[in-house]
A and B are shown apart, each in its own frame.
Chain A
Amino acid sequence: MLYGYGPSILEGAWLTISLALTAMALAIGLGLLGAAFRLSPVKWLALLGEGYTTLIRGIPDLVLILLIFYGGQDLVNRIAQLLGYTHYIDINPFIAGVCTMGFIFGAYLSETFRGAFMAVPKGQGEAGVAYGLSGAQVFWRILVPQMIRLAIPGFTNNWLVLTKSTALISVIGLQDMMFKAKNAADATHQPFTFFLAVGALYLVLTSVSLLALRFLEKHYSVGIKAAVL
């Protein structure tokens, strides 16, 4: 199938999935941190969180990817040279991709998480404190489990955008399914066939994600009665 390029594209699909999952893990960490910053009573922390989200959301993903991959590599080498290190340092495209995607979607997720944390009734946290739980315990045992349900719709949206954005990492040479398809298209002169196949794979990926996250939302909404209009 696909002139023998099928297995190679599936290999690329696996790389796409692992890139998206790793980047999402990083984004969740950064998003929680960003949300905590923005909700913090310390003024400069809140400003730092706001600056992070505004800056990232105003610059295209592609520019950030190129900036971090080429610019970051250049900067690292310039600093290394200043420090007297003479070898050229190469950044791996997978690591650059994970860092860039994680950094970008951390900003988007911090907005989602901030809204969700704010929607958990205040009394919940106060009740936890009244029971003698520590601050970290209140956060992990009371706020986070209730926040997840409220964050899932926004999270779903971000996950879908992230999955689709990973296609851009092929521009900096990561051999994901987009990169493999481009190679196959150049070799066989059948670009439509290969890009259509990759498009279908992305559609499967987004459809499966939608179903899985819908299931998760149901799971976290057990015990919540939806209003009937």
Chain B
Amino acid sequence: MLLDYHLIWENLPLYFNGALLTLKLLLLSLAFGLVLAVPLALLRVSRSPLLNFPAWLYTYVIRGTPMLVQLFLIYYGLAQFEAVRQSAFWPYLSSATFCACLAFAINTSAYSAELLAGSLKATSNGEIEAGRAMGMSRFTLYRRILLPSALRRVLPQYSNEVLMMLQTTSLASIVTLVDITGAARTVSSRFYMPFEAFITAGLIYLVLTFILVRLFKLAERHWLAYLAPRKH
């Protein structure tokens, strides 16, 4: 037999736990990333260079360097400083799960902020003028008109970002975490059958990708129904 699937079957619980960790990393980093992305996007659409430039620099640097470098800077790099090791954050910063989440959240915040800024800039002028004509303050305008509309319209591009993040979480296996890729690496080295081990991991990622694509289709049907082509 060229392929051996018996051992994969026996190690399925390991893959299952790995999938749970992958999903946990994905959800946490997306949630924190989005919370960071909204203020960043607001800075990016600002006309004042004093506000715009720092946000531009942040997204440019994060988007111009590899995720692996960012992860290593946080996980291995921060330990170089005595002050960090003495600080109250050290219990968190020495945990691989926390560092991976932090690095992923920072990374996705930069990409999402650019997407959201693009969506904010694409808001039709009429909506903003209508808001002004109603006497809305700038804050109310953002809260009631610009942000809800931009967050809806960014959904199709954001779904791409979420799929990219699902793939990015595989880097967690490089800093010792046992996510789906980590499970495959464990099985591969324990039984020396890399081909079957990584094929299985790839299939699980494909299934997760299809589920996410489906979920975003449903979300678009719900929140973007007003932009869908007319059916009759």
Shortest Cβ gap from A215 to chain B (Å): 18
Asked if B195 and A66 make an inter-chain contact with CB atoms under 8 angstroms apart, the answer reads: no
Partner of A71, one of B61, B79, B169, B198: B198
Chain B residues within an 8 Å CB radius of A164: 65-67
A109 interface residue per 8 A CB criterion: no
Main secondary structure of the interface of B (DSSP, over half): helix
Interface string of A8-33 (1 = CB under 8 A from B): 00000000000000000000000000
**Restricting to B191-232, which residues have a CB under 8 Å from any CB of A?**
192-195, 197-199, 201-202, 205-206, 209-210
Chain B residues within an 8 Å CB radius of A58: 205-206, 209-210
Asked if B79 and A191 make an inter-chain contact with CB atoms under 8 angstroms apart, the answer reads: yes
B20 interface residue per 8 A CB criterion: no
Asked if A192 and B73 make an inter-chain contact with CB atoms under 8 angstroms apart, the answer reads: yes
**Restricting to A186-201, which residues have a CB under 8 Å from any CB of B?**
189-193, 195-196, 198-199
**Which residue on chain B has the smallest CB distance to residue A209?**
B64
Shortest Cβ gap from B197 to chain A (Å): 8
Asked if A168 and B68 make an inter-chain contact with CB atoms under 8 angstroms apart, the answer reads: yes
Asked if A63 and B72 make an inter-chain contact with CB atoms under 8 angstroms apart, the answer reads: no
Asked if B194 and A199 make an inter-chain contact with CB atoms under 8 angstroms apart, the answer reads: no
Asked if A67 and B195 make an inter-chain contact with CB atoms under 8 angstroms apart, the answer reads: yes
B70 interface residue per 8 A CB criterion: yes
B171 interface residue per 8 A CB criterion: yes
Partner of B72, one of A71, A182, A189: A182
Interface string of A141-177 (1 = CB under 8 A from B): 0000000000000000000100011111011000000
The count of chain B contact residues (Cβ–Cβ below 8 Å) is: 43
Interface string of B67-107 (1 = CB under 8 A from A): 11110110011111100000000000000000000000000
A120 interface residue per 8 A CB criterion: no
Q: How far is the CA of A203 from the CA of B173 in the complex (A)?
A: 25
Shortest Cβ gap from A34 to chain B (Å): 18
Main secondary structure of the interface of A (DSSP, over half): helix
Known contacts A62-B170, A70-B198, A199-B69; is-contact A206 B64 (Cβ 8 Å): yes
Q: How far is the CA of A130 from the CA of B81 in the complex (A)?
A: 71
Shortest Cβ gap from B193 to chain A (Å): 7
A35 interface residue per 8 A CB criterion: no
Partner of B66, one of A59, A78, A167, A191: A167
Shortest Cβ gap from A89 to chain B (Å): 14
A55 interface residue per 8 A CB criterion: yes
Shortest Cβ gap from B196 to chain A (Å): 8
10 contacts between A and B (CB under 8 A): A60-B167, A62-B170, A66-B194, A67-B195, A74-B193, A164-B65, A166-B66, A170-B68, A191-B80, A202-B65
Which B residues are within 8 Å of any A CB, using their own CB?
2, 61, 64-70, 72-73, 76-81, 166-171, 173-174, 180-181, 184-185, 188, 192-195, 197-199, 201-202, 205-206, 209-210
Which A residues are within 8 Å of any B CB, using their own CB?
55, 58-64, 66-67, 70-75, 78-79, 82, 160, 164-168, 170-171, 178, 182, 185, 189-193, 195-196, 198-199, 202-203, 206-207
Give me the 6 closest cross-chain CB pairs, A-B, nearest first.
A70-B194, A192-B77, A67-B198, A60-B167, A71-B195, A60-B170
